């Protein structure tokens, strides 16, 4: 590569992140797109069909109303300005390749399955500009393994947000052995611009929060399976006895039982010797019955109106 081209590439990657593409508009992708747009980035939210694009934008509007009501409670017109400004920064799309073609940063928030993430990143690596940084919001998979299908492992990292993204202040920034210092700095800078407090973790199962939280959630299911206490009482116990905002069953339903189960299954397959990673049978059964928690209307609890 000529000196000029090296220089041009460095200049390109040193530029501030403005154009952000979020792939997947479910629980997490819609929240990430919302906060990125609210903090001044130009955001494209990519979903698989128009219906899901509309659903994602609809849920962003509802969440924005809640944020505006709180942040601008004494000034409705400022609240409206905030909502209009955020929505003006945001567009939905089903055209993956076109969307990533002018991106500075792509954040993937699709289903927690390695093969599906590989297929996606393989596809977009071929069309995104060389300077574009790729990040995954995976809860539990190895960032290095996800990025291994691309030719930009130095421009690949983890941005692990928490649900609900507009409310949760933490962002875990994951650097693999191949993530460049510059990419890492850009991801940290982007996280700060999103208004998050960033921590750094190595590319290890569950990073910090999920490595502690997911085995705790699974242990709560085992407590229930043994009949030691009811789900309701376990939730009350952890809220009033340990100060958690939600009990483990409320939280599992909130995160999504499919996501929680995928995390446990993946870790169990990779680390079968670790009993902490054994997926509880009750969790698998609920998922096989389509009971995925709040998003499907039923999980450990019923949310049907």
Ligand X SMILES: NC(=O)c1ccc[n+]([C@@H]2O[C@H](COP(=O)([O-])OP(=O)(O)OC[C@H]3O[C@@H](n4cnc5c(N)ncnc54)[C@H](O)[C@@H]3O)[C@@H](O)[C@H]2O)c1
Ligand Y SMILES: C[C@H](O)CC(=O)SCCNC(=O)CCNC(=O)[C@H](O)C(C)(C)COP(=O)(O)OP(=O)(O)OC[C@H]1O[C@@H](n2cnc3c(N)ncnc32)[C@H](O)[C@@H]1OP(=O)(O)O
**Binding-site positions for CoA:** 63, 70, 139
206 binds, among ligand Y, ligand X, none (CB under 5 to 8 A by kind): none
Selected range binding ligand X among 74-82, 137-145, 212-220, 226-234, rule: CB under 6 A: 137-145
The reply to whether 139 belongs to the active site is yes
The reply to whether 172 belongs to the active site is yes
Alpha helices in the chain (DSSP H): 3-14, 27-38, 50-71, 76-88, 96-100, 114-125, 143-147, 181-193, 209-225, 231-242, 248-255, 257-270, 281-288
The reply to whether 160 belongs to the active site is yes
Binding residues: 63, 70, 139
What's 215-266 look like in SS3? HHHHHHHHHHHCCCCCHHHHHHHHHHHHCCCCCHHHHHHHHCHHHHHHHHHH
Smallest separation, CB 113 to ligand X (Å): 8
Selected range binding ligand Y among 36-44, 66-74, 185-193, 290-298, rule: CB under 6 A: 66-74
Smallest separation, CB 32 to ligand Y (Å): 11
Indicate the pairing of strand 197-202 with strand 170-175: parallel
Smallest separation, CB 9 to ligand Y (Å): 33
Cβ atoms of 196 and 95 within 8 Å: the answer is no
Among 121, 134, 162, 300, binds ligand Y (CB under 6 A): 162
CA gap 187, 164 in Å, rounded: 20
Is 70 near ligand Y (CB under 6 A)? yes
Selected range binding ligand X among 107-115, 215-223, 230-238, 239-247, rule: CB under 6 A: 107-115
Burial label, 273 (beta-carbon count in 10 A; 0-12, 13-18, 19+): exposed
Residues designated as active site: 139, 160, 172, 210
Residues forming contacts to ligand Y in the complex (CB under 6 A) are 63, 66-67, 70, 139, 162-164, 166-168, 210, 213, 245-246, 251, 255
């Amino acid at each position: 590569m000529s000196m000029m081209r090296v220089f041009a590439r460095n200049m390109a990657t040193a530029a501030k992140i403005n154009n952000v593409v979020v792939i997947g508009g479910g629980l997490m992708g819609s929240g990430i797109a919302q906060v990125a747009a609210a903090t001044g980035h130009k955001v494209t939210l990519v979903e698989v069909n128009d219906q899901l694009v509309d659903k994602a934008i609809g849920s962003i509007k509802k969440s924005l109303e809640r944020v505006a009501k709180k942040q601008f409670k004494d000034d409705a017109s400022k609240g409206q300005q905030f909502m209009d400004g955020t929505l003006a920064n945001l567009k939905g799309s089903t055209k993956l390749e076109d969307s990533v073609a002018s991106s500075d940063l792509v954040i993937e928030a699709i289903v927690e399955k390695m093969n599906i993430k590989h297929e996606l990143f393989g596809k977009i690596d071929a069309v995104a500009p060389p300077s574009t940084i790729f990040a995954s919001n995976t809860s539990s998979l190895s960032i290095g393994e996800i990025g291994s299908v691309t030719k930009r492992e130095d421009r690949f990292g983890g941005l692990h947000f928490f649900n609900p993204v507009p409310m949760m202040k933490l962002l875990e920034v994951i650097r693999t052995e191949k993530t460049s210092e510059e990419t890492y700095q850009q991801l940290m800078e982007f996280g700060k611009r999103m208004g998050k407090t960033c921590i750094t973790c190595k590319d290890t199962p569950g990073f910090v929060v999920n490595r502690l939280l997911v085995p705790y959630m699974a242990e709560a299911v085992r407590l229930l399976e043994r009949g030691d206490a009811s789900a309701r009482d376990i939730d009350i116990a952890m809220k009033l006895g340990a100060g958690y905002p939600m009990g483990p069953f409320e939280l599992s339903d909130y995160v999504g039982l499919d996501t929680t189960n995928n995390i446990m299954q993946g870790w169990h397959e990779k680390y079968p010797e670790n009993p902490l990673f054994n997926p509880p049978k009750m969790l698998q059964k609920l998922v096989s019955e389509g009971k995925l928690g709040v998003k499907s209307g039923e999980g450990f609890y019923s949310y049907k109106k």
